[in-house]
Chains A and B, each alone.
Chain A
Amino acid sequence: MQLTPEINFLSIVVVGNFNPIIITPQWLALKQLIRESESEDARIELIHPDITRFELDWFKFEAQHAKLEFTCTKESHFVSLKDLVLSIFAILKETPITAVGLNHTCHFSLRSVEEYINFGYWLSPVKQFSDVLKDPRLIQITFLETGNPSNEAGTLKVQILPSDVMTDRKSVMFVHNLHFDEGSLKKADWLINLIIQKWDESFDRVRKFNDKIWEIAQF
């Protein structure tokens, strides 16, 4: 059975050394990276030297000293999120960066609760613990790629767990984390080139994994 995602989210995580207070809605508008009205309507949760967190209509942003995270819950705006991240780091070009993650979350709806439970049984043989656990079920499972020949290709980690958006008890989400880490300090141009080069590929890898699971899954 082939399933296509009902909902897709994307987040770009940048690991390095940052000043959380720099990136604010006002700064983004000043640099013309977002509309002035978007800056005015931004929902600011925290702006503090240690952590900044705000949300616009089409993306959420969180900054700490060691990590920046941009999350987009509107598939229609994924490319705009990419443009935003590229532009920010074209401006902050001296920023030290150590790793980047392109994270895709895909939400799928199964046809029934029974299929949902059976999908968990197919993913993991939890039933073998029936004599020590009453009606054991799978809550989440993580697959980690360990055999990549080079860091350049990135490492894929996939978690499968109940959907936190479609809470109908028959939906699952696949959280794909494609992690790039060359093990040394880089500047922003590394990140820019990496995102430009790996953007389409990250979508392809996610689609291939999803297709494979639904092609072979048995309910």
Chain B
Amino acid sequence: MGNSTVLTNTTRSSNREGLNDSLALPQMKQQLINNVVARNLKYASFYSLNENSNSQKNNLNLPETEYFIHHFDIKFLNELIPSSRPKRYSRKTQSWKGIVTEVNEDSFSARLYDQTQNDTYEIGDFEIRVVSPEDKEYLKIGGIFYWSVGHFMENGTSINKSEIRFQRLILLTEEDINSAINESSTLFGQLKEGVIE
């Protein structure tokens, strides 16, 4: 199968007997999806049987769940994949929220707030090379980043590392900003000159 995932189904609901066409198939489909999720399957392929066997099976008037099993060739591949136990996780990390206060040619300074005690801060200096090239556009005065130091488990290996990740947060979209500008323009246009007494 390589790394690609195949999840296809071809349904022929019009051929079915003894089923509520408007409800049964989506329900069965959902059951299958639940099955994929519950088993943490990596690959699953569903495809319908050929026309002849489909017709034969239709005559059996099977209960709904059995219908799907009989009418579709369901292949669960990699069924023996280990459980969903995470392979990457952190243990005993210390994290700070940093606010950039100064940016120099090779370094930058920041106020660092301990994530567990937000009321005091320290000043830290960092080399710019520790920042991911893809985060450098966020490195400016006032920029917010998260700095974490600690033990990380990756595929059974414990690694000590320090990581800086700049905040990527959108709370107002361009549309929100344009809408606010339009609204303020409208309100401004409704203002009338007058004298406050």
Residues of A participating in the B interface, judged by any CB pair closer than 8 Å:
6-7, 9, 31-37, 44-48, 50-51, 57-58, 60, 62, 64, 73-77, 79-80, 83-84, 86-87, 90-91, 93, 164-165, 192
Contacts and interface: CB of A to CB of B under 8 A. Distances in A.
A74 B168 contact: no
Given A36-B134, A83-B168, A86-B170, 17 more contacts: A6-B92, A33-B168, A44-B5, A46-B5, A46-B7, A62-B37, A64-B37, A73-B90, A74-B93, A76-B150, A77-B146, A77-B165, A86-B169, A87-B170, A93-B173, A164-B85, A165-B89
B28 to A, nearest CB: 12
Contacts of B88: 57-58, 73-74
Interface string B30-67: 00010011000010100000000000000000000000
B86 A90 contact: no
Interface of B: 5, 7, 29, 33, 36-37, 42, 44, 83, 85-86, 88-93, 95, 97, 115, 132, 134-135, 146, 148, 150, 152, 163, 165, 167-173, 176
Contacts of B90: 7, 73-77
Contact of A79 (B33, B97, B150): B97
Contacts of A91: 170, 173
Contacts of A76: 90, 93, 95, 146, 148, 150, 163
Given A76-B93, A192-B171, A50 B29 contact: yes
A77 B161 CA distance: 13
B33 to A, nearest CB: 5
Contact of B134 (A33, A37, A46, A75): A37
Contact of A35 (B115, B132, B163): B132
B173 to A, nearest CB: 6
Contact of A90 (B42, B95, B135, B170): B170
10 contacts: A9-B86, A31-B170, A32-B168, A58-B88, A74-B89, A86-B169, A87-B171, A90-B170, A165-B86, A165-B89
B5 to A, nearest CB: 5
Contacts of A47: 5
B135 to A, nearest CB: 7
A48 B146 contact: no
Given A9-B86, A44-B5, A46-B7, A35 B134 contact: yes
Contacts of B152: 74
Contacts of B91: 6-7
Contacts of B134: 35-37
A74 B148 CA distance: 10
Given A51-B37, A74-B152, A75-B90, A80 B165 contact: yes
The 8 closest A-B pairs by CB, nearest first: A76-B148, A73-B89, A87-B170, A35-B134, A74-B90, A73-B86, A83-B169, A76-B93
A200 B90 CA distance: 20
B146 A90 contact: no
A24 B106 CA distance: 35
Most buried by B among A7, A75, A80: A75
Contacts of B148: 74, 76-77
A153 B81 CA distance: 39
A95 to B, nearest CB: 13
